[in-house]
Amino acid sequence: MADSSSDYQKPSAIWKLSDAVSIVEAALLILEIEPQGISDSVENWGDEAKPDGYLAARNALESSIKKKSLEGELNYVVFESPNGGYDEDYQRYDYSTSHVDALALTNWLAIRGYFCSTFPPFNDRPTGFRDDKHPRYSKKLAAVVEAWEAFDANSKEVGRPKQRLKKWFRLNAARFGFTGEDGKPSESVIEELAKIANWDPSGGAPKQSSEEPDPF
């Protein structure tokens, strides 16, 4: 079973000075994990041993670079040829040498409504109730407001508002600490937060979706 981000050291603020980071480093920083000490080895761990959410973050970065919606470069694994010299394995990417532009990563995360302490949105540094160092900080309050603000009314994503809000809370559960001992999102907490953030308890006509409507 993969470890949650709480099992690792938080990122050093020095990473904010980076112009570019490797795909491995970016994936770890997105999960609020300090890359130093594990970035050289995490790709060699079995998938079940990698930090919870690592593969999802890495694959999202890879996909966006391929689609050119995120500025970066994907490099293939280089290996020593039996005949001397070096060749590339065009079936595998080397995520440690592949990299992403830090400024582009900041914008990419902001567009997706995902907050990362190393690459926070411009002019939206944590203040007031968003500041986790504030003596009255509430994770649930911060999560509900962020989910509400991240909701895109023009999105073609299927589902009623509550369904979409629950999806957002699940995707961000590890970041806010809404997970159980198994590392999976706590569905009771997700349900509670979705009810608070949902502005449309009457439901209305849902978009076509393969999911069953959630009870209100």
Among candidate residues 64, 96, 118, the one where a domain is terminated: 118
Instruction: Clarify whether residues 99 and 196 are in a common domain.
Output: no
How many C-beta atoms lie closer than 10 Å to residue 73's C-beta? 12
Number of domains into which the chain is organized? 2
Quick check: pTM over 0.85? no
For residue 105, the surrounding DSSP H or E stretch is helix 102-111
Same domain membership, residue 108 and residue 5: yes
Whole-number average pLDDT of the chain? 86
Distance CA 119, CA 206 (A): 35
The pLDDT confidence band at residue 7, using thresholds 50, 70 and 90, is confident
Beta strands in the chain (DSSP E): 20-22, 72-73, 76-80, 86-93, 99-101
- Give yes or no: residues 152 and 91 share one domain: no
Residue showing tokens 């290996």:
79
Looking at the fold, whether 108 and 8 belong to one and the same domain comes out as yes
Higher pLDDT, 191 or 149: 191
Instruction: Output the CA–CA distances (angstroms, integers) from residue 148 to 70, 164, 172, 193, 212, in the order listed.
Output: 25, 10, 13, 10, 22
Is the pLDDT higher at 162 or at 216?
162
| Tens of pLDDT, residues 60-92 | 999 999 999 999 999 999 988 887 788 888 999
- Find out whether 30 and 59 touch, Cβ atoms under 8 Å: no
**pLDDT recorded at residue 80:** 82
130 shares a domain with 110: no
Question: Which domain-ending residue is among 67, 86, 118?
Answer: 118
Q: Are residues 17 and 81 in the same domain?
A: yes
The alpha-carbon radius of gyration of the chain (Å, integer) is 19
Range of the domain at 20: 1-118
